[in-house]
Amino acid sequence: MVVIRYHFTLRIIAMADFIKTSLGQLTTEARNPLTRDLDNLSAIEIVKLINSEDEKLAHVVGQVAEPIARGIEIIADRLSRGGRLIYIGAGTSGRLGMLDAVECPPTFNTEPELVVGLIAGGPEGFLRAVEGAEDSLQMGRDDLQNIELGTLDVVVGIAASGRTPYVVGALDYAREIGAYAIAFSCNQDAELKRHADLSIIPVVGPEILSGSTRLKAGTATKMVLNMLTTGAMVRIGKTYSNLMVDLRATNSKLAERANRIVQSLTDCSHAEASTLLDRCGGEVKTAIVSNKLGISPGDARTHLKSVKGHLRLALESAESSNGKSR
């Protein structure tokens, strides 16, 4: 036990040394030659300059389409088998992970525990930096242990710099227990790559304001996280065409959207769609299946369950059965 702790301590020291010597080598820390006169610009010139830099990000993210797609496949597979998606990061990276996670329940009617966002320093870290939290390998491990990380879970460690110890510790723990570890960074030679099963690294280049990764790196991060959850949810049947058929109507806007979706797919009037949704407990997919197949809400739920909630499969399988019966 003493030897193990000794080696773990050495590892922490080695990580600290790595961090001290490598910060200046990161492209996200470099000075952007296009923005050296930033403090001499007018407001409109600042806006145009930031916009011109942001325009490059879609291309940069497109260059890592294959690892993003691989991430979507892995996440969808794990979710369909009872796993979870866990985002973990510090500062802006952690906040963006939490933001993407909390948008999943209203958008896709998922349980809050399905997509989880963790940030260094806990909930307090969302509003302000918690001293020393992001520099701790152990805290990253502890936070995953506290949510009882399992072998079917996917952990996406987010660190624009690619060197945050909190995230490194989390990814190491994920791999140790058999969970799938995905590293996200915006620096090509990110330390995180050596601690993950898959790496997604859009290289955004120097920031408009040197080192301020809430800017280009933050925008690229949000783009990729949106792709991961949206792609995975599409793959596990949370959409039909480009419609949010699994949304949770938690406010009047979403209730109206649910009504429009039912109208669109059933040719019902607004009033008929409202009545149908009321009978089906507000469940959009149940309402559509009940209407299209002429069955009760209970039978519609049973039919949807038989095809793992895929609305397209529910409708197509019913059409196929009807065709054979003729």
Contact between 205 and 179 (Cβ < 8 Å): no
114-127: per-residue pLDDT in tens?
Answer: 999 999 999 888 98
pLDDT of 227 > 50? The answer is yes
Q: What is the mean pLDDT of the chain?
A: 90
Cα separation, 309 vs 314, whole angstroms: 8
Cα separation, 67 vs 164, whole angstroms: 21
Q: Which two tokens stand for residue 262?
A: 């039912």
Percent of the chain past pLDDT 70, that is, above it, reads 90
Assign domain 26-235 one CATH number from 3.40.50.10490, 1.10.10.10, 3.40.50.150, 3.20.20.70: 3.40.50.10490
Contact between 172 and 193 (Cβ < 8 Å): no
pLDDT of 20 > 80? The answer is no
Q: How far is CA 180 from the centre of its chain?
A: 14
Q: Which of 190, 152, 198, 196 is nearest to 172 (CA)?
A: 196
**pLDDT greater at residue 9 or residue 149:** 149
pLDDT of 178 > 60? The answer is yes
284-319: per-residue pLDDT in tens?
Answer: 999 999 999 999 999 999 999 999 999 999 998 766
23: confidence class by pLDDT, cuts 50, 70, 90: low
**273 beta partners:** none
252-290: per-residue pLDDT in tens?
Answer: 999 999 999 999 999 999 999 999 999 999 999 999 999
216: confidence class by pLDDT, cuts 50, 70, 90: very high
CA quadruple 284, 71, 98, 92: dihedral sign: negative
Contact between 136 and 165 (Cβ < 8 Å): yes
233 contact partners, CB below 8 Å, separation of at least 6: 104, 107, 108, 110, 239, 246
321: confidence class by pLDDT, cuts 50, 70, 90: low
Give pTM, 2 decimals: 0.87
Q: Which residue among the candidates 29, 55, 73, 103 is catalytic per the annotation?
A: 103
24: confidence class by pLDDT, cuts 50, 70, 90: low
The predicted model gives 7-23 an average pLDDT of: 48
- State residue 14's pLDDT score: 45
305's enclosing H/E stretch is helix 297-306
Q: How far is CA 102 from CA 109, 116, 117, 149, 181, in A?
A: 11, 8, 8, 19, 21
Q: Which two tokens stand for residue 198?
A: 């898959």
- State residue 130's pLDDT score: 80
Q: How far is CA 219 from CA 51, 61, 176, 213, 224, in A?
A: 12, 10, 31, 9, 9
Active site residue 29: no
Active site residue 103: yes
Q: Which CATH number applies to 252-325?
A: 1.10.8.1080
Cα separation, 279 vs 296, whole angstroms: 9
Percent of the chain past pLDDT 90, that is, above it, reads 79
Cα separation, 320 vs 129, whole angstroms: 57
Q: Which residue among the candidates 53, 134, 191, 207 is catalytic per the annotation?
A: 134
Helices (H), 30-150: 43-54, 57-62, 65-80, 91-108, 124-127, 137-146
35-87: per-residue pLDDT in tens?
Answer: 999 999 999 999 999 999 999 999 999 999 999 999 999 999 999 999 999 99
- State residue 132's pLDDT score: 77
Locate the domains of the chain by residue range: 26-235, 252-325
Contact between 166 and 90 (Cβ < 8 Å): yes
Helices (H), 137-248: 137-146, 165-177, 216-235
Q: How far is CA 162 from the centre of its chain?
A: 17
The predicted model gives 140-147 an average pLDDT of: 97
